[in-house]
Homo-oligomer: A and B are copies of this chain.
Amino acid sequence: MPAPLIVALAGGVGGAKLAEGLQAHLGARLTVVVNTADDCDRHGLRVMPDHDTVLYTLAGIEQAALGWGIEGDTHAVMNQLGVYGEPTWFSLGDRDLALHIARAAALRRGDRPTEACLAAQRALGLAARILPMTDSPVATAVETDDGWLEFQEYFVHRRQEPEVRGLRFDGLEAARPTPEVAAALEEATAIVIGPSNPLVSIGPILAVPRMRDRLAAARGRGVPVAAVSPIIGGRALKGPADRMLASLGHESSALGVARLYADLVDLFVLDDADAELAPEIEALGLRTLVTDTVMGDDASRARLAGAVLEALEPT
């Protein structure tokens, strides 16, 4: 049997935790494709929240309490930016800012986002590889009762409080999977959709033109695809996925998520707490794995990843 080459799709915190578990098993045989539709310009610097959350998590330096940023980071620059009248609600630590500065400089020198991100990953000594879903700019906008909001305005500034009435991914039609993403999907022996928000994290990845075709082609070659539910007992462990599913007409449950992925995946992984939903999910034509999907520490991340990898092995 050839060594597995796993492609994981991830947004921020939840996907990053599963990616860390997968990296513990796979090292360099793991490629994580991250959502870039949350990326934004702050203070003239390019910030890539999902890439960077996965980066810091795989490097083992993520701010544990929040899941993003760097543990123990200082905020000297941000405090002084406030003196100069720059908005400070999107708080970036000093060491975190160094990444945004270095990456913005690389982009201005002509590097593609993928190249700039890979350089940062090498600098932090990552075993696995993280690929932006596309090198083209894509920007999520969120429709609320106050009108359309830029994603981070909704997510960070307004703390996800407004009810989400609609979503739009500007730039998506012109976006394409990068050559690196295309090659990773070509070589993959299995694909894992992480427990990230299915609408604003996994959604944009899957909506990149030709991305679904490439996933379908992989499945056509017998490559199994798994998805891990980000919803446990009807709730998202972190973030607004549960309320967003409900306000956009989906069921806020592992079953609701499984319905969104039904035509894409073979294996659906749900938490023990949702075991009673397994028959309905199987009725959609999916295999299920019912297990503990809460990833509180490194050991539980590796355990869940191991269970998913095992369930994906050819029987």
Contact = CB atoms under 8 A, between A and B. Distances in A.
Contacts of A84: 98-99, 102-103, 119-120, 123
B98 A44 contact: no
Interface stretch (A74-82, A167-175, A203-211, A304-312): A74-82
B83 A98 contact: yes
A178 to B, nearest CB: 21
Q: How many copies does the complex hold?
A: 2
A86 B104 CA distance: 12
B105 A80 contact: no
A124 to B, nearest CB: 7
A86 B268 CA distance: 43
A108 interface: yes
Contact of A94 (B80, B83, B99, B104): B80
A43 B83 contact: no
A163 to B, nearest CB: 32
B43 A85 contact: no
Interface string A261-290: 000000000000000000000000000000
Interface of A: 43-45, 73-74, 76-81, 83-86, 94-95, 97-99, 101-105, 108, 119-120, 123-124
15 contacts: A43-B101, A43-B105, A73-B76, A76-B94, A77-B94, A77-B95, A77-B97, A77-B101, A80-B98, A84-B123, A85-B102, A85-B119, A86-B101, A97-B101, A101-B101
